[in-house]
Structure 1
Amino acid sequence: MSDRRLPARYLLPVTGFILSGIMTVIISGISTVMALGFSRMALGAWPIAWISSWIIAFPTVLVVLPIVRRLVARIVAPA
């Protein structure tokens, strides 16, 4: 049986994709409910808010994550 996983070179984009997706779905959901209250209107607006924020968050994470990793490596001793 072959290994169907992506090559290691895709670590950053896949990490960024999943991380930004999870973060934006949670944050946009909270923000939408806070702005509109828990209602059908909020549930309808949430996917639009989520996709809009994800479009910005994903490329931002791709740029920022390597910088954060280098900064953290200077602050935290290796295991």
Structure 2
Amino acid sequence: MKAFFVQIKCDLGKAYEVAGALADAEIASEIYSTAGNYDLLAKFYVEDEEDIGHFVNEKVQILPGIKDTFTVVTFRAF
């Protein structure tokens, strides 16, 4: 399994709805509210052979209320 993070910018006033939709979809292992340029930070895991780009496009960015995303790919946990 490989882990990665997605910072999510939501439409104004939609952060809680987007966080709820992520939780309901059961695709994120952790979801946090953040301050700054993005509203949410979510941690995801995919199988080693699964493509992160397709996962984000097909399962995350389709959720209503998401305006923009920034994906951070990780290499190693310490």
Query: Which has the higher relative contact order, 1 or 2, with Cα contacts under 8 A spaced 6 or more apart?
Result: 2
**TM over 0.5, yes or no?**
no
Pick the structure with more helix per residue: 1
Task: Tell me which structure has the larger Cα radius of gyration.
Answer: 1
| Bin for the TM-score computed over the shorter chain | under 0.3
